[in-house]
Each structure stands twice: as structure tokens, then as C-alpha cells.
Structure 1
């Protein structure tokens, strides 16, 4: 299981502005991911949260870039791509991953990566933070984004 060895994070995100950008495909899985992200942000004390929806995971990077450039202290990107019978899966996963990484590095705003890339719907449901799921990737992505934003506040700004 991919959650093995995960750090136990306890973060204080009070005062942070966080934007959650979520895809719309796979409504049940996305509901779980969003719920997990909301709980993580609540647990961290983040009061200023904006949620926006985009059609799919391919569109996450452009919305994340707008959020990062618009004053967000952190962005949480949530989506799910389920493998099908064509290379579409590979292209969408690669574009989302590369795009979100680029947003984070280019802007200096952390992007929590909550994009599930699964072989089938059962794997997605098992990671969505729903009742019976073994993992809660929405929670983990939001927690990672907040923890990184807090860490970056302690570092000197780039010159």
C-alpha cells in the first residue's frame, strides 16, 4: 500500500489562504477527495478556503496557476484519472503531473497533489477517503500543501 511510511503531520495553517481546485469527473470519488481536503484544512485551522471546479484533471494546472498567481498561499489539486483502453490515460496523467509541478516550482506556491491515477475504479474508491477506503488522498494532499506553505514561510525569500 502506498501509504506505508507516511509522516504524521500536525500543522497550524491559521492565516493561510488556500484554494482547492477539483476536477468534476468521477463524482463519487471526487466527493470523497473534497471531503478529505475540507477536513484536513479544518483540522489545520485554515479559515480562508476557496473551492473551484474544472471539467477534468487536464484542466487542473491552469486553474492552479491562476490561484497561485492570485494570492493563494497554497493550492490543493484534486482529480482522478482511471486507465482505459487508449493512451489517453498516460497523456492526461503526464500533463496534470507536469503542469502542477511547474505551477508550484514557477510560482513558489505549494500545490498539494491529490490526483489519483488508477488502473480501475476500485483503486480510486480505495484511495478516496470514503467509508471503507484504506486511504484518504484528499486529506493527505491538503495537509501536505498546508505543511509546505508553513515551511516556506520560515525560509528566506528568493532574491
Structure 2
């Protein structure tokens, strides 16, 4: 069984797969008489293919048993898919360029202040959390057409969960 190491989630490292959603380095606008800050243009929501519309969802993810097995990858050919944690807890992101080639897989540790916007057609693992009942805001596509392709791995991979990846 192959073991996949986890690296920190950064904008440059994740760029081939989509966008990291975070406010670091973004200049906010002062709004609501100075009682709020607004961070604009954090992601390119790409859902219009074949008449698709934007869908806003709330996911509550369950903790998977350790070691975390990577058995299934999925992609969305008609739209991007954004995940933003709402509970400020760290979580994991697994992506690849080709699910048939183990060398193309990457795993990232995301902080509770980071989200991701998977680009259209980006192979990724379903949501992986490090705490049970972790809430996420999800922005993706709704509408006609088949926007889900799944690939079941012939050989299971597992994540190398180190203690530092459980810290927020």
C-alpha cells in the first residue's frame, strides 16, 4: 500500500489544481460603517457550462477512521467546487492529475482559515476532516448534465498522518 505524505497548503503548490481561498495578503474593504471588513474576489466560481447555476450548500463532514485510506477520486467536468471550513479546524486536501498514476497525487494540510476552489476537471478526494462534525460552506454547480465522474483506485493509498497535521 502506498503512503502519501502531507504538505502545507500554499497558493503556489495548489495552483495546478485550483485556488486556495484565504485572506492573507488581500487588502480588505472597510464596510458597514467600519464594523466589518470585506475581502473580494477570493475565487473564480466556474459553473456556467451547459446552463449551470451557482449552488451554495452547507456540508457537515464526519471523521474517517485512521489511517485514512484513499480509495476514490472524483472530478466535476462542468464546474469548479469550493470548500470553506466554518469551524476554524484544520482539514486535508488530496488531489492528483491522473488517478491511475500514484506519482501524480498530492496531499495538503489546510488550516481552518483556508479553503480551496477545485478547478473544473480537477481530480480530488471527497472531503477529509480531522474533527468529527466539521462544517463547510460549499459553492458548486447545479443544473442539468453529468457533473460527477468517479474513479475507484485499483490499489488503496493511505495518508501519512503526522501529529503536527492535527493542530489548527
Q: TM-score range by the shorter chain?
A: under 0.3
- Bigger relative CO (Cα 8 Å, ≥ 6 apart): 2
Q: Larger strand proportion, structure 1 or 2?
A: 2
More helix by share: 1
> Bigger radius of gyration, 1 or 2?
2
